[in-house]
Amino acid sequence: MLHLTTSHSYDEMNDLLTYLTNTTRYNAHIRPLYDQSDTLQVFVAQSIYSIQQFDIQTGEVNVLALFYVSWRDEYLQWNLEDYGNITMIPIQKEHIWKPRIVLARSFSNTDISLEDGDFSPAWLTHTGFVHMYPAGSFRTKCKVDTTFYPFDSHDCTYDFLLSEHRIEEVNFIVPNGDSITDNFEENAEWTVEANKCEAFAVSSPSFSVPGIRSTMTLKRRPLFEMVTYSTPLVLLEVLMSVSCLIPPTCGERLTYVVTINLAFVFLILATIARTPVNSLKLPMLCYMTMIAHMVNTLSILYNIYILYLAAAPNKDIWAFTFLRKLALKHKLAKSKRTETNAFKRNDVRPIAIDGNADENGDKNDYIEHNEEKMRDSDIYQLEGTDIATVCDVYFFRACIAYNVLLFGINAIVYVIVYSVR
């Protein structure tokens, strides 16, 4: 805690500042150590205030942060009795030596140093300790990893280097490895999962330069993407699945499926605008979208084929052999159920077969006789609508299995990834 004593006169303050800033005894370009062979220890701490902007497309992040930088200046000390018991004073940074800490990998052509900001007050104590509080907005590049988008997290690193001294001359000390986040303002899209500040050195064959590395991990809040994309995608797939419930003879069936596909395309276009563009680590959501788009395309082709079956003359119907067998089997089963229900309702009377059945004849003999009779007639000649009906039955079952499998697996994966990451 810093305390400022104000029980002193103007003259005492003026005399103190004149003494401290006297250029004949103090040079702001030389390290403030009596023994220049010693290493000046500079204490650094960081406090993150807010994430102003994070562009996922370029990986650029803009963070508002405050730094605490402190060191002891052996030439800026005074006796309390000589200057009215003044224990601490504000001092202009231009009059004292200070470490020039520059942001590496800056987006601008000019150096961005901590002390050059609009807000970087400095205080000096009577024991020679300088306390500087530079604050500002700092930009850097993040290592973008969109594999699990929208449950993605990204590592962002700020490297600050000392531009005018070697590590043998000035050394950085970070007392607490974690950055201070007590005054952090929550961001609506991102949360800070981890935030660390540590000292490091950049070495070369001739010398090493001290530096400060601030690393934070940004994790997305996925609720917005889940509500605005995942939910509409599920609903559109469900709507596409029930297209088979529309009769093949209805002309609006193809219009319905094309409309659903257009809505799906518009949803993709709206999502691409905010989906990270990264071909090195393609988001899993892109694979999911590709599969859904392929299924929708196949659904449109399928419905075109169904309309062809419903409209084409019976002799010109093109269908695979297994489809004809399924249609025939389905029609036989339907006819058998109809005959069985008619016999139960007594709508028909049993007929004599081989002269052995009376009017209370066996039901099975009756049904088998009618099946043989119908096979010998033209009743079982397949029409296009018969094949279309069978196709719709199996198409609907396949769509249900597809929706349950695809979105069930994705839901499980998302829950696991979200809970782990």
Residue 403 domain-assigned (yes or no): yes
Q: What is the pLDDT of residues 264-274, one digit of tens each?
A: 989 888 887 77
Mean residue pLDDT across the chain: 79
Say which residue the tokens 């730094």 belong to: 67
More confident residue, 184 or 160: 160
* CATH code assigned at 194: 2.70.170.10
Q: Which of 206, 221, 236 is the last residue of a domain?
A: 221
> Six-digit token pair at 101?
């800490």
Residues 366 and 233 in one domain: yes
pLDDT level of residue 123 (50, 70, 90 thresholds) = very high
C-alpha 286/C-alpha 294 separation (Å) is 12
| pLDDT at residue 420 greater than cutoff 90 | no
pTM: 0.69
| Cβ-Cβ contacts under 8 Å for 320 (sequence gap 6 or more) | none
* Same-domain status, 146 and 267: no
Shared-domain flag, residues 156 and 270 = no
56-60, 113-117, 218-222 — most confident range: 218-222
Q: What is the pLDDT of residue 352?
A: 44
In one-letter notation, the amino acid at residue 83 is Y
Higher pLDDT, 407 or 301: 301
Domain assignment present for residue 2? The answer is no
Is residue 267 a contact partner of residue 293, using CB atoms and an 8 Å limit?
no
Task: Report the pLDDT value the prediction gives residue 163, as an integer from 0 to 100.
Answer: 84
Condensed to tens digits (0 to 9), the pLDDT of residues 43-52 reads 998 888 889 8
CA of residue 5 relative to chain centroid, distance = 52
Are 141 and 105 in contact by the 8 Å Cβ rule? The answer is: yes
Please say which residue of 200, 221, 242 terminates a domain: 221
**Predicted pLDDT of residue 226:** 79
Of the chain, the percentage scoring pLDDT greater than 70 comes to 77
> Does any domain span residue 256?
yes
Q: Which is higher by pLDDT, 161 or 410? A: 161
Distance (Å, whole) CA 347 – CA 369: 17
What are the pLDDT digits (tens) for 133-175? 988 888 888 888 888 888 888 999 989 998 888 999 999 998 8
- Express each pLDDT in 272-307 by its tens digit: 777 777 667 788 888 888 888 888 898 899 888 888
Residue 303: inside a domain: yes
| Domain endpoint, select from 192, 221, 250 | 221
- 215 and 229 in a single domain? The answer is no
**Phi, then psi, of 348 in degrees rounded to 5:** -135, 160
Dist. CA 299–CA 61, nearest whole Å: 43
**Could you tell me if residue 5 is inside a domain?**
no
Angle at 70 between CA 69 and CA 74, to 5 degrees: 145
- Contact criterion met (CB below 8 Å) for 103 and 158: yes
Q: Based on the domain organization, do 359 and 261 belong to the same domain?
A: yes
| Residues 74 and 185 placed together within one structural domain of the fold | yes
- Residue 1 falls within a domain, yes or no? no
Task: Report how far residue 113's alpha carbon sits from residue 138's, in angstroms, rounded to the nearest whole number.
Answer: 10
User: Greater confidence, 338 or 30?
Assistant: 30
**Structural domain span for residue 29:** 10-221
The pLDDT of residue 102 is 87
Copy the structure tokens of residue 266. 């518009």
Residues 134 and 197 in one domain: yes
Does residue 360 share a domain with residue 237? yes
**Model confidence at 40, in pLDDT bands (50, 70, 90)?**
very high
Taking each helix axis as running N to C, give the angle between helix 384-420 and helix 321-344, from 0 to 180 degrees, rounded to the nearest 10.
100
Tell me what the mean pLDDT of segment 115-141 comes to: 85
- In this structure, are 231 and 83 located in the same domain? no
Statement to judge: residues 213 and 262 lie in one domain = no
Q: Are residues 266 and 209 in the same domain?
A: no
Residue 87 lies in a domain: yes
* pLDDT at residue 233 is higher than 80: yes
In a domain, 3, yes or no: no
Number of domains making up the chain: 2
Lowest mean pLDDT among 64-73, 178-187, 223-232: 178-187
Instruction: Give helix 284-311 / helix 384-420 axis angle, nearest 10°.
Output: 170
**Is residue 282 located within the same domain as residue 369?**
yes
